[in-house]
Amino acid sequence: MSDGIMLAWFALTGLSLAFVVIDIPKTPEATVLKWAFVILTAFTGVFGAFFYVLGCREPLKGTHQQYVSATWRQVLGSTMHCAAGDGIGIVAGAALGAVLTLSPLAEFALEYALGFGFGWAFFQAYAMRDMVGGSYLRSLRETFVPELVSMNMLMAGMVVTMKLLMPRIEGAAGPAAPGFWFVMSMAMIVGFIMAYPVNWWLVTRNLKHGMLTVLEKSGAPMETGDHDDHTMTQRPGPGPVFGIVVATSAVLIAALWSVGA
């Protein structure tokens, strides 16, 4: 039965990915977020395509900026950006850890380092540096804490899912078998769900961007700030930021403890 489920999953994922790749060029979204949708769909299949259609694809030409201004869509874009960037590193770490037969703790450390490193240094700081004046170093500083807390929640969801499913799916222990990639897909979906609430906190407190709109005349990505529930506030002080770092770190530690890593 599991083989049939995986076959159906990969078939639907292929169709979903083809749809997003063909359709997304006409959507006036920032390039990095377009790539993020493609990457997310490659791992989450119909869910990624659904997120793209419902959360980013403008229903009528010229309505994108207004369409994505809803807070939940802004948070969707933020979470999707995190899951795509960090997820690539985490999956790469899991594949390398399996090939190198690392211990559970060493494999986790590799997954976290690659996920956080790629997500922070490239997908966040480098890709979004123009939003802070073009300075890469400033972008690294601005995105460190948001990337850290988002990564903690994504990793918590993914590590628990991987540890629970791998012993139950044939061939899931190594990247040469379809079972491994099926488990990675399920882990990405759970990690995405886990990361969504903290991204809501980050976006509504102006610590992280959401969806962007590329205006045809300027070609520059514009962040939408007019959210439908008007929850945007000034950035929080060091106390609340420290609190969210501690809280998400505790969730990640609890996830590791629960699976005996």
Ordered by start, the domain boundaries in the chain are: 2-258
Structure tokens at 107: 């494999």
Alpha helix locations (H) across the chain?
2-23, 31-44, 46-55, 64-67, 71-99, 104-118, 136-165, 178-204, 238-258
> CA neighbours within 13 Å on the CB side: how many for 26?
12
Secondary element (H or E) of residue 213: strand 212-214
Give me the pLDDT at residue 106, please.
94
Other CB atoms within a 10 A radius of the CB of residue 54 amount to: 11
Among 78-87, 228-237, 248-257, name the most confident range. 248-257
pLDDT tens-place string over residues 202-243: 999 988 888 888 876 655 555 554 444 444 457 888 899 999
**Mean pLDDT for the stretch of residues 246-250:** 97
pLDDT, residue 226, reads: 45
Q: Which residues contact 45 (CB under 8 A, 6 or more apart)?
A: 9, 12, 13, 16, 17, 185
Q: Characterize the bridge pairing of strands 221-223 and 212-214.
A: antiparallel
Mean pLDDT of 24-49: 93
pLDDT, position 225 = 46
The whole-angstrom separation of Cα 121 and Cα 143 is 9
Per-residue pLDDT at 19: 97
**In this predicted structure, which of 23-37, 45-59, 226-240 has the lowest mean pLDDT?**
226-240
pLDDT confidence of residue 79: 94
Q: Global pTM?
A: 0.89
Phi, psi of 83 (to 5 degrees): -65, -35
- 154-203 per-position pLDDT tens digit: 999 999 999 999 998 987 888 999 999 999 999 999 999 999 999 999 99
Average pLDDT value for residue range 114-139: 86
Q: With contact defined as beta carbons under 8 Å apart, do 41 and 14 qualify?
A: no
d(C-alpha 37, C-alpha 17), whole Å: 9
Residue 204 is predicted with a pLDDT of 93
Is pLDDT larger for residue 78 or for residue 173? Answer: 78
Query: What pLDDT does residue 235 have?
Result: 80
- What does the mean pLDDT of the chain come to? 89
Mean predicted confidence (pLDDT) in 127-141: 83
Per-residue pLDDT at 3: 82
pLDDT tens column, 84-126: 999 999 999 999 999 998 998 999 999 999 999 999 998 888 8
